[in-house]
Amino acid sequence: MDMTRSRRHSASAIIEDSDVPSSRNMEKKSGLNFTRLLCICFVCFLVLPALVTLSYNVVSQDSLSGPSQISKMQYNVARSVKAADEVGTQSEEIELHEEQKGENQVLDLEEGNQTSTTMNQGLNESSSLKSAQNMDPSLDGLLADGFSTSSCKSRDQVYRYRKATKFKPSAYLLEKLRNYEALHRKCGPNTEVFKRTLDDLKSGKTLADADCQYVVWVSYSGLGNRMVTIAATFLYALLTNRVLLIDRGVDMTDLFCEPFPNTSWFLPSSFPMAWLQPLNESSTQRYGHLLNNSIIQLYENGTQSNLPHYVYLHLTHNYDFHDKLFFCEREQQFLKRIPWLFLRSNNYFVPSLYLLPSFNEELHHLFPQRDSIFHHLGRYLLHPSNTVWGLITRFYQAYLAHAEQRIGLQIRTYDSGYFPYISDQVLACSQKNRVLPNISHSDEFLEAAYENGFAKKPYAVLVTSLSSGYYERIRDLYWEYPTVGGQLVSVFQPSHEERQHTENQSHNMKAWAEMYLLSLCDVLITSPWSTFGYVAQGLAGIKPLIMFKPENDTVPDPPCREVMSMEPCFHAPPFYDCQAQKGIDTGKVFPYVRHCEDVPWGLKVVENDEL
Ligand code: GDP
């Protein structure tokens, strides 16, 4: 269906039907006419956009009404990751990628050559969200009172930038957070009880019934990884009544605000930071090491004073069988007696917490909408520092605020440089799912609209990538060619750092600002395997189109799919049944813990059991 014609018709119909001409006559008689001005404003700002949106939606619906498309959607929803891949193989060919790259690709994006079969859900959702009221400043009760104003501008001002989320935190989660804040105030740094427990730790004393217990998150890995593991560690703290303390590493203090009122989540300077250095796979305090060498057994058979005064939980991608026993009930019972746990991870290990019977029920109470765990915890915990907030708000206001649609393209490659087939993949994904407008050869509509004073707001495309190549390719495309329907497309990229510099503070500030800016978009296309993208989608509260991992430098078919849930993927889960003491597929234990779209052996929490 020709969207141009449809939109044109809507626009002209409203002009003819409106009473603008009669008010013009009146103006001739009476000079400046207030009614006329009101009418024009009404037509321009309310009726016209509404009809244009309506006509767009009608077009979208029409394009979905064929039985093959409906069955394809059901098929996608009904199948597991493996089956979804099969759908991709059977799906109709994407002409874009059957052709040569470059010029040929441009031609394939032209008017009348659309091969879209799936609904652009993000676009439709965002259209409806547009009319939704803005969020309340407490984010539905998620954020605590008691912070001094302007200590954290991002927390104070977030509601001006985000749209209302359809995911509401449960009353039980809110209660749990308020209780946690009280616990943190009671046990946090600079309290008497903290000083006592720290003295015990330093002197090697272990009190199995210590008043306060701690889990220390040890800074590790890229920023996206850090953010998903902070959320996972905080959830573990909630489940085990521990206090979460953060190793400030080289830059954590400059990236985030304090999330808990009247206290701090950072390890204080009185803590012997040098202790954190040797916490790695070779540490003799590593839980896996203690288990593997029967040292835990010795402790269990001995007296209470024999308990280790702290345990290091090594939950990184290279952890071993014994480290993974962290996800077993018996081992958790033991850990309950250790006041200090140090946890280093680059994994969002939440999905495997459901495997523990003692956590499972609590998780259901906390998150009745299961796929919103990171969404809520991320919005609760992760507030950009004032410096990062400056980067975010200046960019947003200059480039994104006035757009008709904000489209975020997160392009992450693990080799540095620019890869043209990744651009092809992004464009193919966009075309198939109607994210970006298709290009045309005629500027006619644009010119006519401009002449008549109806210039449309542009679509703003936010590209994030270490390379500038993807931004340049997409910007050039929309500069060199008009679009169907005369839609203007502005393309922006805040930075192109070329390489990952995890220890560099200003680099990490930019990375955080970009994740946040992506999370303010209406639609997202993200890269596989990337926690950078997971953070953006989780904070946004939208399901992105995730690209499949390309093999042999070619564009996969299909190029992308909508994710089952916006939860991050746990890339290295255990495959072990603790009770039966044998290997199992942990993606098949519960209908709500599934294998991920991008990492076939990974696990993620999904909402709908029937997916
Ligand atoms: P992941 O490796 O994709 O899971 O994400 P991480 O955030 O953990 O690590 C990637 C790191 O590379 C980021 O934290 C940044 O330091 C850098 N990086 C990757 N992509 C981008 C990007 O689009 N923009 C910026 N500014 N930095 C990026």
56 pLDDT higher than 50: no
Average pLDDT over the chain reads 79
Handedness of CA 230, 232, 236, 241 (dihedral sign): positive
Q: Which tokens hold the place of 211?
A: 């008043």
d(CA 515, CA 537): 9
CA–CA separation, 553 and 21 (whole Å)? 59
Gap from CA of 158 to ligand 1 centroid (Å): 23
Please report where in the chains the tokens 């305090």 appear, as a residue: 285
Which is nearest to 326 in space by CA: 362, 368, 356? 356
pLDDT score, position 266: 97
Q: State the distance from the centre of ligand 1 to the C-alpha of 464, rounded, in angstroms.
A: 9
Q: ∠ CA 424-228-506 to the nearest 5 degrees?
A: 75
- Ligand 1 centre to CA of 265 (Å) is 24
Q: What is the mean pLDDT of residues 254-271?
A: 95
In tens, the pLDDT along 187-218 reads: 999 899 999 999 988 888 776 567 899 999 99
**Do residues 378 and 518 touch, judged by C-beta distance below 8 A?**
no
The CATH number for 386-610, chosen from 3.40.50.11350, 1.10.10.10, 1.10.940.10, 3.30.559.10, is 3.40.50.11350
Whole-angstrom CA distances from 297 to 285, 301, 331, 343 are: 14, 6, 11, 21
For 138-152, write each residue's pLDDT tens digit.
Answer: 888 999 888 877 789
Q: How many CB atoms lie within 10 A of CB 294?
A: 11
Q: What was the pLDDT predicted at 116?
A: 36
- Looking at per-residue pLDDT, the higher value among 491 and 498 belongs to 491
Which of 500, 529, 599, when mutated, tests ligand 1's pocket best, judged by the most ligand atoms within 8 Å of its CB?
A: 500
Where does ligand 1 bind, in terms of residues with CB under 6 Å?
Answer: 221-225, 412, 464-466, 495, 497, 500, 502, 507-508, 510-511, 514, 530-532
Residue 572 tokens, joined = 């290295």
pLDDT greater at residue 334 or residue 453: 334
Cα 32 to its chain centre, rounded Å, is 51
pLDDT, residue 80, reads 32
Distance in angstroms (rounded) separating the CA atoms of residues 302 and 323:
22
* 532, 535, 537, 571, best to mutate for ligand 1 pocket (most atoms within 8 Å of CB): 532
CA distances 608 to 153, 518, 570, 591, 596, Å, are: 36, 25, 18, 8, 14
**pLDDT (0 to 100) of residue 205:** 76
pLDDT higher at 165 or 240: 240
Choose between 136 and 269: higher pLDDT. Answer: 269
Domain boundaries in the chain?
Answer: 3-55, 69-135, 171-381, 386-610
- In angstroms, the CA 328 to CA 291 distance is 12
pLDDT tier at 441 (50, 70, 90 boundaries)? confident
Q: Looking at residue 456, what is its pLDDT?
A: 76
Least confident of 126-135, 159-168, 186-195, 384-393: 126-135
- Measured from the CA of 532, which atom of ligand 1 is nearest? 5
Which residue blocks in 91-241 are alpha helix, DSSP H?
95-98, 103-108, 121-130, 153-161, 171-187, 192-203, 223-240
pLDDT, residue 118, reads: 35
CA dist., res. 520 & res. 442, Å (int) = 32
Atom of ligand 1 nearest to the CA of 508: 16
Q: Is 581 left (phi over 0), alpha (psi -120 to 50) or beta?
A: left
- Which ligand 1 atom is the nearest neighbour of the CA of 511? 26
- Contact partners, residue 10, CB within 8 Å, separation at least 6: 51, 52, 54, 55
Residue the block writes with tokens 């995911």: 167
pLDDT, tens only, 98-125: 333 333 333 344 443 333 333 333 333 3
In this predicted structure, the answer to whether residue 25 has a pLDDT above a threshold of 70 is: no
| Residue of minimum CA distance from atom 10 in ligand 1 | 222
Using CA positions, which residue lies closest to atom 23 of ligand 1? Answer: 465
Of all atoms in ligand 1, which is nearest to the CA of residue 501? Answer: 16
- What is the C-alpha to C-alpha distance for residues 574 and 321, in angstroms, rounded to an integer? 8
Q: How far, in Å, is the centroid of ligand 1 from the Cα of 513?
A: 11
Tell me what pLDDT residue 505 has. Answer: 87
Average the pLDDT over 444-452 and give the result: 70
Give the distance (Å) from ligand 1 centre to CA of residue 460.
22
Q: Can you tell me the mean pLDDT for 337-349?
A: 96
pLDDT at site 250? 86
The answer, yes or no, to whether residue 565 has pLDDT greater than 80, is yes
- Predicted confidence at residue 609, as pLDDT, reads 62
pLDDT of residue 484: 87
Check residue 82 and give its pLDDT.
33
* Average pLDDT rounded to a whole number, residues 332-336: 92
Q: Which of 13-17, 133-137, 440-444 has the lowest mean pLDDT?
A: 13-17
> In which band, very low, low, confident or very high, does the pLDDT at 438 lie, cut at 50, 70 and 90?
very high
Counting beta carbons within 10 angstroms of the beta carbon of residue 453, is it exposed (0 to 12), middle (13 to 18) or buried (19 or more)? Answer: exposed
Pocket test for ligand 1, best of 412, 501, 598 (most atoms within 8 A of CB): 412
* Residue 278 pLDDT level (bands cut at 50, 70, 90): confident
Percent of the chain whose predicted confidence (pLDDT) is above 70: 74
| 506-558 per-position pLDDT tens digit | 999 999 999 999 999 999 999 999 999 999 999 999 999 999 999 999 999 99
How confident is the model over 71-75, as a mean pLDDT?
Answer: 29
More confident residue, 434 or 487: 434
Q: What is the DSSP letter of 47?
A: I
Ligand 1 centre to CA of 222 (Å) is: 6
Percent pLDDT > 90 in the chain is 60
Ligand 1, residue 527: give the atom nearest the CA: 3
Residue 500 CA to ligand 1 centre (angstroms): 6
Whether pLDDT at 414 is above 50: yes
Task: Considering only the C-alpha atoms of the chain, give the largest distance between any 2 of them, rounded to a whole number of Å.
Answer: 101
**Mean pLDDT value of segment 87-93:** 32
- Please state the atom number of ligand 1 nearest to the C-alpha of residue 513: 26
CB 603 within 8 A of CB 573: yes
Phi first, then psi: give them for residue 192, nearest 5 degrees: -60, -45
Q: What is the pTM of this model?
A: 0.79
Name the residue with higher pLDDT: 158 or 59.
158
Other CB atoms within a 10 A radius of the CB of residue 436 amount to 26
What's the 226 CA to ligand 1 centre distance in angstroms? 11
